[in-house]
Structure 1
Amino acid sequence: MKGTTHLAIGVAIGVAAAASHPFEAKHAALYVAVAAFSSLSADLDGTSLLSGKLNRTAKIVHWLMIWGGIALVSAAAGVYIAQGELRLTWAVPAVTVLLLGLVLGNGAIRNALVCAIGLGLIYGGYAGDMNWLIGLGAFIAWVPWLNHRGLTHTVWAAAAWWGIGLGLERQLPLDGIAQTALWGYLSHLIADTLTPSGVKWLYPLTKKTFKLPIGKL
């Protein structure tokens, strides 16, 4: 399924989550950012299949997301260095924008950049005593080197993602973030199940592919 479709579904989930909780602009942005990134995070594995499907406009958006993400991450890092405080309401959307840009890329350089971000998150989690951030960093650092639609497209990965989301929810604290992350992740697996290629939900216990194709998605 196209990355833009996954992203649209994720944004819709984030908007629904924001609408179902007391509204604050910064919280709404977090719900949407978490859901959007969760909806694409499974495709951090292997060589991305998305970049070749991007038209000229989408490619411009792709690079804007990467450079915009770099700028936002740099700003969040600057605040952390200057004040010794990691502001998650800034850092989460910043890292999300950058990773959303990278997930649309492909090749060894893309994988190395994603892995480097993951290692940075591991360090940040260790320095800030945030286990959920260590888990997120480990996920991001590891999965680019996996085969596409392998372990990241399983119930085990979804469960791990929910655990990371639960840690973030307790850290903020912001009710519903873990559920938003889980539904964002599951939306990707469910959508891919509706394609002819399907998904190996229970891999590596079984290599059986589950699919319910409803057309060319």
Structure 2
Amino acid sequence: MKGTSHALAGAGVGLGVAIWVDAPPTATGLLIGLGCVSGLAPDLDTNGKLSNRISLHRKWLWYTLALIGVIIGVYSLITFSGIAKLIGTAIALIMIIVPRFLINQRFMIFLSGTAVIAFGWYWREMWIISFGLFMIAATFLPHRGLTHSVVGILIFSYISFLLEQSILINGVVYSCSLGYLSHLLMDMKCLPFNKKGIKWFQPVYNREF
């Protein structure tokens, strides 16, 4: 299932929740947005739409490290001599070449999650810290792993509960939890457009549905 379909389904859930709780226009927009994000959240364990939107693209880190490498290389060639020049040039080449092979989008999500945690810590917002931890944990999981299970729903629902307690807008938990659930339902093997399903009850029970 493509990310666009998950986003639209999540947005539809958010709209439905907004109508159900009779939310005002501003809150309706927020609930639709939260449903959209929640509908994409399970795919933080892969290179999906949400992971690309909320993290810097790896190319920016490549270019930054390459630029630093060029500066180090030029400085070493101009300033040093002998072994020091060789070491400086080697470091420069490593910074220019190696990141393209080692730094992928999962690594960028990890860095973004760390930044989110730092931001949440600064503002003393537990839901931001928790979401940052969710992002980092997802980078260590296989695609359609725990983020695509009851465990993932429960954790994300708790994060959305913390968010609702922070902003005091009715319907946030329902919009986020049901938006997240919509993703899992649309990834089930029983649907004709899915070759693979999800393991709802992993790690306890690993049958695919």
| TM-score, normalised by the number of residues in structure 1 | 0.66
Aligned counterparts of 1:121 and 1:19: Cα–Cα separation in 2: 31
Aligned counterparts of 2:54 and 2:123: Cα–Cα separation in 1: 26
Aligned counterparts of 1:190 and 1:118: Cα–Cα separation in 2: 26
* Matching residue of 2:203: 204
Aligned counterparts of 1:66 and 1:144: Cα–Cα separation in 2: 13
Cα RMSD between the aligned structures? 2.7
Aligned counterparts of 1:41 and 1:132: Cα–Cα separation in 2: 15
Aligned counterparts of 1:108 and 1:173: Cα–Cα separation in 2: 39
Aligned counterparts of 1:66 and 1:123: Cα–Cα separation in 2: 15
Measured after TM superposition, the shift of residue 14 of structure 1 is: 1.4
Runs of 4+ in 1 over 3 A off after TM superposition: 21-25
Aligned counterparts of 2:121 and 2:168: Cα–Cα separation in 1: 19
Aligned counterparts of 1:33 and 1:108: Cα–Cα separation in 2: 30
Say whether the 8 Å CA contact 2:3–2:40 is kept in structure 1.
Answer: yes
Q: Judging changes above 3 Å, is the alpha-carbon distance between structure 1 residues 176 and 66 closer, same or farther for their aligned structure 2 residues?
A: closer
> For 1:145-160, what aligned pairs fall within 5 Å after superposition?
145-160=140-155
Aligned counterparts of 2:43 and 2:150: Cα–Cα separation in 1: 15
Q: Judging changes above 3 Å, is the alpha-carbon distance between structure 1 residues 108 and 42 closer, same or farther for their aligned structure 2 residues?
A: farther
Say whether the 8 Å CA contact 1:47–1:148 is kept in structure 2.
Answer: no
Say whether the 8 Å CA contact 1:39–1:187 is kept in structure 2.
Answer: yes
* Matching residue of 1:164: 159
Unaligned runs of 5+ in 2: 58-101
| TM-score, normalised by the number of residues in structure 2 | 0.69
* Matching residue of 1:4: 4
* Matching residue of 1:142: 137
Q: Aligned partner of 2:146: which letter?
A: L
Aligned-partner SS, 1:40: helix
Aligned counterparts of 1:131 and 1:2: Cα–Cα separation in 2: 31
Measured after TM superposition, the shift of residue 169 of structure 1 is: 0.3
Aligned counterparts of 2:159 and 2:197: Cα–Cα separation in 1: 25
Aligned counterparts of 2:21 and 2:47: Cα–Cα separation in 1: 37
Q: Judging changes above 3 Å, is the alpha-carbon distance between structure 1 residues 207 and 108 closer, same or farther for their aligned structure 2 residues?
A: farther
Say whether the 8 Å CA contact 1:46–1:145 is kept in structure 2.
Answer: no
Aligned counterparts of 2:164 and 2:152: Cα–Cα separation in 1: 18
Say whether the 8 Å CA contact 2:10–2:39 is kept in structure 1.
Answer: yes
Say whether the 8 Å CA contact 1:122–1:137 is kept in structure 2.
Answer: yes
Of stretches 170-179 and 13-22 in structure 1, the one that deviates more from structure 2 is 13-22
Say whether the 8 Å CA contact 2:54–2:112 is kept in structure 1.
Answer: no
* Matching residue of 1:25: 25
Q: Aligned partner of 2:26: which letter?
A: K
* Matching residue of 1:189: 184
Say whether the 8 Å CA contact 2:163–2:172 is kept in structure 1.
Answer: yes
Q: Aligned partner of 1:202: which letter?
A: F
Q: Aligned partner of 1:27: which letter?
A: A
Aligned counterparts of 1:175 and 1:47: Cα–Cα separation in 2: 32
Measured after TM superposition, the shift of residue 37 of structure 1 is: 0.7
Identity %: 30
Say whether the 8 Å CA contact 1:158–1:185 is kept in structure 2.
Answer: yes
Aligned counterparts of 1:137 and 1:29: Cα–Cα separation in 2: 23
Unaligned runs of 5+ in 1: 51-62, 71-106, 211-217
Aligned counterparts of 1:192 and 1:120: Cα–Cα separation in 2: 30
Q: Provide the aligned length of Structure 1 versus Structure 2.
A: 161
Q: Aligned partner of 2:34: which letter?
A: V
Aligned counterparts of 1:179 and 1:24: Cα–Cα separation in 2: 16
